[in-house]
Amino acid sequence: MFACHSHTRIAKISPKIPPRKAFNVFSLVVGSVRMRYSPSTGEEIERPCFVLAGGEAVLSSGVNMAANTGKRVALVTGGGSGIGRATAVRFAELGYSCVVADIDEPSAKETLRMLQTPGIAVQVDVTKATSVEAMVTAAVQHFGRIDCAFNGAGIAERTAATIADTTEDEFDRVMGVNAKGVWLCLKYEIAQMLQQEPVMSDPTRWADKPDVCRFRGVRGSIVNASSLAALYPTPTHAPYGASKWAVLGLTKTAAVEYAKEGIRVNAVCPGLVDTPMHHRNMEKLSPEEREREESLHPVGRIGAPEEVAEAVCWLCSDACPFTTGEHLKIAGGS
């Protein structure tokens, strides 16, 4: 499945970085092994990078966590920017090993550089079953399991249009990433989680409540990225709204199907958030339209990616074992 080849070197990591925070690799040439340096000793340490069958690149932090019994593993799609990037960073801050997946490989690698725990970056096209399956395989090959997943990859329409003016290609494009992509991720993530032995990060927390332990989602927790557009009509954005409605349907169905298997599935519905996609959408509007859009939330501002990331990580945590099949609005009171 994996292949490694010749050795090269990359820049030296500053000795000021604590050893526990130096699990990041700074560059990748497909088919090569990079060198990095120990910040504590200055010694060179070989770190592998892998190439998936079919040419998809996997950037490795170099820490083999196949027997990763003490640390949880989070997979994030759309991890190259925006909410996905903020979520990967937050997972890492909480101590998770991270799989950062994105169709834009350089962006995924850039996110990986920001993390302070072991991680890999994977190029993935969520509209292709083979690509999604390879992503999950890479995660399991490297870390041994997937405890949490945030299916955050998503796109918007290239141009605003009414239903009558929306082209078939544009509808298929948006639905392919936002709806089919979430379905494919759920399909392969759940298949993997079903094979996993339940893990409890704090065995004492529910020791006096065996029923909670049995059904609290210890095999895995998944959060899907929906949108406020799934809950309220959004004129001239029918494909996007429909795709995010589909995400809620998939979320609730998966939650019911796998609740007794110890897998929780929830969704977040952000409002306007300060992301690259939001900026691209705002560029299409007049200054007056832009001001009106960004003042829609009662709090008087748009959200930050980190605010959504906090909600995602909470939903994935042991803090809410009785929560599944729900959607959480993060929309400033809208």
Catalytic residue list contains 240: yes
Return the structure tokens found at 72.
């949880």
Q: What is the pLDDT of residues 246-291, one digit of tens each?
A: 999 999 999 999 999 999 999 999 988 877 776 566 566 567 766 6
> Which listed residue (37, 96, 240, 258) is catalytic?
240
Indicate the helix (H) or strand (E) that contains 99: strand 97-102
pTM beyond 0.85: the answer is no
The CA angle 270-276-281, to the nearest 5 degrees, is: 80
Q: Give the pLDDT confidence of 141-163 residue by residue, as tens digits.
A: 999 999 999 999 999 988 889 99
Count Cβ atoms within 10 A of the Cβ of residue 120 and give its class: 0-12 exposed, 13-18 middle, 19 or more buried: buried
Contact 328, 266 (CB under 8 A): yes
pLDDT at 193 over 50: yes
pLDDT tens digit sequence for 6-37: 332 333 333 333 333 333 333 232 233 333 32
The answer to whether residues 151 and 223 touch, using CB atoms and an 8 Å cutoff, is yes
CATH code for residues 63-330:
3.40.50.720
More confident residue, 215 or 219: 219
Please return the burial class of 7, using the count of CB atoms within 10 Å of its CB with bins 0-12, 13-18 and 19+: exposed
Q: What pLDDT sits at residue 10?
A: 31
pLDDT at position 107 over 80: yes
> Which whole number is the average pLDDT over 212-235?
83
Alpha-carbon distances of 171 from 150, 160, 281, rounded to whole Å: 24, 12, 17
Q: Helices (H), strands (E): how many in the chain?
A: 10, 12
CA distance readout (Å), 332 to 20, 225, 289: 36, 17, 19
Report whether pLDDT(4) > 80: no
- In whole angstroms, what is the distance from residue 251 CA to residue 300 CA? 30
Which token pair is 218? 């210890």
What are the structural domain ranges in the chain?
Answer: 63-330
Name the DSSP letter for residue 103: S
Q: What is the pLDDT of residue 19?
A: 34
Q: Is 226 a catalytic residue?
A: yes
Q: Can you list the pairs that 291-299 forms with residues at least 24 positions away whose Cβ atoms lie under 8 Å?
A: 296/271, 296/272, 296/334, 297/271, 297/272, 297/331, 297/332, 297/333, 297/334, 298/332, 298/333, 298/334, 299/332, 299/333
Residue 287: its pLDDT value, please? 73
Residue 158 vs residues 174, 236, 239, 277, 283: alpha-carbon distances, Å? 9, 11, 11, 10, 11
Give the confidence band of 334 by pLDDT, cuts at 50, 70, 90: confident
Query: What is the reported pLDDT for 133?
Result: 99
Two tokens, residue 183: 């379905």
- Joined tokens for residue 120: 């890999």
Annotated catalytic residue: which of 227, 244, 258, 329? 244
Q: What are phi and psi of 211, to 5 degrees?
A: -65, -40
